[in-house]
Amino acid sequence: MTRSTPLPVLAGRKSPRILRRLALACGLAGFWASGMGQAGINRAWSASASASASASASASASAHTQPAPQVKQAGKKAAGPKSQAPAGKTPAKTPRKIRTPAEVLELRLQAAEQAVKAARTQEASNQAWQQAETLRKRQLSAGAELLLTEAREKSTAPDLHAALYDLSAALTLQPDAALLRRTRAEMRLASNDPTGAVQDLGIALQQDPDDPTSWFLLARTEEALHNGPAALNAFRQALKNAPLFPERTTLLHQFTLDAQGQPD
């Protein structure tokens, strides 16, 4: 049986480096043999796991307690305070529409025609009627008014051809003038052309439907065409626009008899 060599003998034979390694090995073996080494590692592992779990819980709680970051919406700006008018200043007013002279004359003519309808005395009716006629004439252009004046001067001649020519020329300059149409219809009726007169009066009444003179002239024209009911209807329209029409009682009786086919 081989005897173990004492440690002092080995110390004399071996180098100090080897002796240190042997001592470390013997110490570790004794540590593990006593069970303290494994328990220490287990305790260290448990402590490390507890610390890791505590850190995770702290981080989770911190995440729940922190406010959520505000997300900015792209393309939208924060609405600022609404601008208000400075104190002491009134808001600007909408500018009034400026009417043309033709529009002003038309409004005045409509007012005069309404005055004829609403007149309660013959004098008031005649005055409003004359005012309406003046306004109709003022609606004419300078050239058309000159031709109208010349046509009326020529209307006293036996032949109305020259007067009709001037009126046609005036209508070429101003075809929307109801006064020119009415005057030419009157001269056509005087020259034994009731059909032409009806055509002119139809256009004139479309342009100026509240003119009692045009309605009365249409009644005379329909009478010349032996159309009694149409003549009566036209005169009734004249009375509607001028209730105080001169000699209205006599004229209404005459047109009524013609409509019934009875002699005057």
pLDDT in tens, 122-145: 999 999 999 999 999 999 999 999
Q: Which two tokens stand for residue 131?
A: 């005012």
Amino acid at 188: R
208 Cβ neighbours under 8 A, 6+ residues apart: 136, 178, 179, 214
Lowest mean pLDDT among 40-44, 99-103, 144-148: 40-44
For 117, counting Cβ atoms within 10 Å of its Cβ (0-12 exposed, 13-18 middle, 19+ buried), the class is: middle
Residue 19 has pLDDT above 50, yes or no: no
Rounded to two decimals, what is the model's pTM?
0.64
- H-helix segments, 1-160: 7-13, 16-33, 36-65, 101-118, 122-138, 142-154
pLDDT reported for residue 23: 47
Between CA 193 and CA 2 the distance in angstroms is: 170
Q: How many CB atoms lie within 10 A of CB 108?
A: 16
Q: How many CB atoms lie within 10 A of CB 146?
A: 14
Residue 228 has pLDDT above 60, yes or no: yes
Residue 207 contacts residue 191 (beta carbons within 8 Å): no
Residue 59 has pLDDT above 60, yes or no: no
Residue 109 has pLDDT above 60, yes or no: yes
pLDDT confidence bin for 120, thresholds 50/70/90: very high
Lowest mean pLDDT among 14-28, 99-113, 123-137, 212-226: 14-28
pLDDT confidence bin for 156, thresholds 50/70/90: confident
DSSP state of 243: T
Lowest mean pLDDT among 27-41, 129-143, 213-227: 27-41
Lowest mean pLDDT among 58-67, 135-144, 232-241: 58-67
Amino acid at 53: A
The fold adopted by the segment(s) 122-138+178-259 is 1.25.40
Helix (H, G, I), strand (E, B) or coil at 73: coil
pLDDT confidence bin for 41, thresholds 50/70/90: very low
Lowest mean pLDDT among 29-33, 123-127, 239-243: 29-33
pLDDT confidence bin for 96, thresholds 50/70/90: confident
2 Cβ neighbours under 8 A, 6+ residues apart: none
∠ CA 238-241-122, rounded to 5°? 95
pLDDT higher for 94 or 260? 260
